[in-house]
Structure 1
């Protein structure tokens, strides 16, 4: 990445997003796990499940607070670092972003407050309703962000107004029910559930290894194993759906992830291993698995997946076609707010879908119509993201996903057979050491989705190089370093608070002690003391 204004702005947004996404998945998953645990408490009246809900709720609260703090900055960055992007697509992008803000800062915050301060003020059933509402609110907050992000990947339900040079909504229903957005939502949420399940599983395993809070750990481990197995399986299934939609709407991303330079006969093979070489435009020592990529990318045996070189040739044609639309813009804008002649508008509409490709030339020449053949060639190759990082990151993510299925399946087997007490200690240690892995997988998924979209801010519509604000590189570099420093401190603070809460363990309040004394399901006093 060139460290100019565009590269630094990209790096700053990537850094803040990656930091923020360390907190989001755990929030999404823990909220649902809290709902499950409290449901068992209300149904069984066993005090241990109330303690479990409050203990994991404390960890949820710490993570939620840091997630909100790191997420605020991202929304301001659209106006600060990406001002032309905000101008160009604000009419579409702003709506889901505003709804998410309202849900995050009003609905979620209110419900989180009721969850923590309503234990003694609400009945058991009412508090359970609050907990599930909090879980749903947290997940629906993520929905609106992913609707906005999904539109960036597949800009459906919108069209460019050439007189205002702004994208405008033509169908909000198409924006809302964008298939890419819906697939990203369920896939991201499932990944968050996996993060939370592996977190609960690992912490519970640590308690069992230490012989502390054994009753809480056994029950938490049981919930995490079953919930984690379902979540990790759904991640793989929904990831397959995302792969199919990438083949349909983002062919270049799919080809880059596969390091597929040439178009292969259908069904295409999956490259399990290899060393992509961007300069030579080939993949060395590639190991292929026949048919797999064709089935994932097209769900058929006779549909081809275009290779990178073929897609670059298509990009050249789209650049040439976009130049016609760019030329017509001068004629349209010369009319000001007067009606556009029907013939001119019809010609523009016929070519406007490729206008974004013409804007790729802005990186090399102020007026794209003055571009040389060499510059058009270079702009076409700019549509190819860096292949090697995508290739390897995707395979790390997929490998970890299958590991999570295996790990949760083993724990589910032991818990279903009531063999927690005889579970091998090495297996518990594997669970503890696996705690960071789902975060790595989630960050890899974010990287593949966003880095694979380059060079587009809006796929096929607005290049990143055009979307950036007119700032100095020094300014962006200074704020980038500042954000990294502040966010690193926040991350350290969260880790210290989480570790302190885990070491401290569940704490009994007056209601806990009263229920332990009166409940027929009360635990032995020695166990309850933990």
Structure 2
């Protein structure tokens, strides 16, 4: 018997493992390409310091990658253990990008990571640089296929429901691959990873500069991070706008919740800069709005309206009523007792209402007897299609605020790098150092907005979450959840211990004898430094 407790525990377990895993992913995506830049500088200039930079930051990359793989493997198994009906219902489609991702991660990416670490004395400079680039490319292609799969969950294109197999079936693989929602999620997510890695390198380099140690190494690392980070921060903002535009087209409910739009406003809609959303009263208190901005961002026009929550809910009531007809007709088509004539008659309403079948399935949270469906049940199911507004509203705004803070940080870091005066800007170095945790917070907020905003669906408009879970017991979920939290927390502790240990050691951990942790001579930060 499926209960709300079972569904909530299954969701919580997957959310915990996914968000733990994503603590490691962004740094892997971004740091891989920073290594490419550093090694390219080594190949072009022949300066030993750039090779040392590549090897040192590569050591931190390797620690992070190993733990990222460890936490990621269990997630794919959860589709079979905790989400069995989901896997049955959409496995033909969802499984394809996951299989390709497995090939990318465990063959291409892992192979070149091995060559990166053990090929320094066996490969020429150019060949090793190619290996580093292919390692970075493999990491990002691995993310591409995961985000194609997730993008299909947000916008299920290229597929149809078969009443013969009772599953979703793939009809256009390339529509899934080039799904605008998936592509927008990919470029936005990897750009966020680039920002994360840039803040990581910038912060640790700032630590060395503030301590007055390994200055040549630190200032070059700082410059690489500042330039790469500024480009990445610009990309995050621009591609975040593109991601928001695709949400307008494919998930109007999510957009309305993010913006606290309780009713449809005249176009172009204003952007709510600040408000206290009240989910019970269904209104915003103390709202501060900027005219036109939301309409321009969401629709890129002056005349197109963005539907509000009340209007979306009314539309969903109609779709749920229509979907209930499809569910009843499907029951006749699947019945062994029904005559061929009855099935032929049921085929007509089923095909007419098939597009709303997923909305009809929302009613199964309340009843399995569709002859007992009432307007009140339909209204309750429609209310379920609207996620809580306050968490969505504030998570989105904090993520955006951090995005612009990264833009400011990297803009100033790049500006003072070009003026060759960043080493004297101790306030900037401290800002970079204390800002170290924030990109992970921004990434987690982004995933919260994307996944919580999709509820109550696992596949938007197709398969409700409460029908997707396995037939488990709450006790087994409590046990496995506790085990995952304990084990993943241990792994996170190991990651932080190793990262802090080697970051404090700095390039001296390479054992080359060219670096040391002793303090620089007095006044080192005040002296001009050559590029």
Q: TM-score, normalised by structure 1?
A: 0.94
Shift of 1:367: 2.6
Name segments (4+ residues, structure 1) moved above 3 Å.
338-347, 507-513
Which position in structure 2 is the counterpart of 1:4? 5
Pairs within 5 Å for 1:179-194: 179-194=180-195
Instruction: Find the aligned partners of 1:461 and 1:233 in 2 and give their Cα distance.
Output: 35
Residue 89 of structure 2: aligned partner: 88
Tell me which residue corresponds to 1:471: 472
CA-CA distance at 1:477 after TM superposition: 1.4
Alignment correspondent of 2:519:
none
Note the residue ranges of structure 2 that are not aligned, 5 or more in a row. Answer: 515-531
Alignment of 1:64-75 (within 5 A): 64-75=65-76
Counterpart position of 1:59: 60
Is the Cα contact below 8 Å between 1:278 and 1:386 reproduced in 2? yes
Matched position secondary structure for 1:122:
coil
Partner of 1:491: 492
Corresponding residue number in structure 1 for 2:289: 288
In the aligned structure 2, how far is the partner of 1:482 from the partner of 1:374?
41
The one-character-per-residue Cα deviations of 1:64-104 (angstroms, maximum 9, x if unpaired) are 00000000111011111111000000000001011111211
For 2:157 and 2:510, the matched residues in 1 are separated by 52
Contact 1:51 1:508 in 2 (8 A): no
Q: 1:32-66 deviations in whole A, cap 9, x for unaligned?
A: 00001001100110000000000000000000000
In the alignment, the residues of structure 2 paired with residue 374 and residue 152 of structure 1 have an alpha-carbon distance, to the nearest angstrom, of: 29
Instruction: Specify the alignment match of 1:390 in structure 2.
Output: 392
Deviation at 1:342, TM superposition (A): 7.2
Greater mean deviation of Cα atoms: 361-370 or 193-202:
361-370
User: Is contact 1:37-1:49 (8 Å) kept?
Assistant: yes
1:273-296 Cα offsets, whole Å, 9 max, x none, are 111111111111111111111111
Conserved 8 A contact 1:151-1:175: yes
Q: Distance in 2 between matches of 1:354 and 1:369?
A: 18
Pair 1:450-2:473 in alignment: no
Alignment correspondent of 1:144: 145
Q: 2:527 matched to which residue of 1?
A: none
Q: CA deviation at 1:448?
A: 0.3
1 CA distance for matches of 2:451 and 2:289?
26
The CA deviation at 1:509 is: 6.3
Which residue does 1:358 correspond to in 2?
360
**Residues 216, 375 of structure 1: alpha-carbon distance in 2 compared, 3 angstrom cutoff:** same
How is 1:37-436 mapped onto 2 (pairs within 5 angstroms)?
37-334=38-335, 345=347, 347-422=349-424, 424-436=425-437
Give TM-score scaled by structure 2 length.
0.93
- Return the alpha-carbon distance in structure 1 between the equivalents of residues 340 and 68 of structure 2: 48
Query: Aligned equivalents of 2:62 and 2:77: distance in 1?
Result: 24
Number of residue equivalences = 511
Cα distance between partner residues in 2 of 1:60 and 1:447: 25
Question: Over aligned residue pairs, what C-alpha RMSD do you find?
Answer: 1.8
Go from structure 1 to structure 2 and tell me whether the alpha carbon gap of 1:368 and 1:512 turns closer, same or farther (over 3 Å shift): farther
CA distance in 2, matches of 1:30, 1:84: 37
Once the two structures are superposed, residues 170-199 of structure 1 have per-residue CA deviations (whole angstroms, 9 ceiling, x without a partner) of 100101100000000000000000000011
SS in structure 1 at match of 2:164: coil
Q: Secondary structure at the match of 2:470?
A: coil
Distance 2:217 2:501 in 1: 17
Q: In 2, Cα distance between the equivalents of 1:31 and 1:342?
A: 58
Distance 1:356 1:392 in 2: 29
Does structure 2 retain, via aligned residues, the 8 Å contact 1:51–1:512?
no
Give the superposition deviation at 1:418.
1.6
Distance 1:45 1:298, change over 3 A: same
CA distance in 2, matches of 1:350, 1:362: 21
Check conservation: 1:261, 1:309, Cα contact below 8 A: yes
**Any idea what SS the aligned residue of 1:287 has?**
strand
CA–CA distance in structure 2, aligned partners of residues 185 and 333 of structure 1: 39
Distance 1:359 1:477 in 2: 27
Give SS of 1:506's match.
helix
Partner Cα distance (2:197, 2:344) in 1: 56
Helix, strand or coil for the counterpart of 1:4?
A: helix
Could you say which residue in structure 1 is the equivalent of 2:520?
none
Q: Is the 8 A contact 1:197 1:228 kept in 2?
A: yes
- Residue 441 of structure 1 corresponds to 442
- Against the structure 1 CA distance between its residues 411 and 510, is the aligned structure 2 distance closer, same or farther, given a 3 Å change threshold? closer
- SS of 1:156 mapped into structure 2: coil
Cα separation, 2, equivalents of 1:171 and 1:196: 36
Tell me how far 1:511 sits from its aligned partner: 8.5
**Secondary structure of the residue that 2:471 maps to in structure 1?**
coil
1:349, CA displacement in angstroms?
A: 2.9
Asked whether the equivalents of residues 88 and 166 of structure 1 are also in contact (C-alpha less than 8 Å), the reply is yes
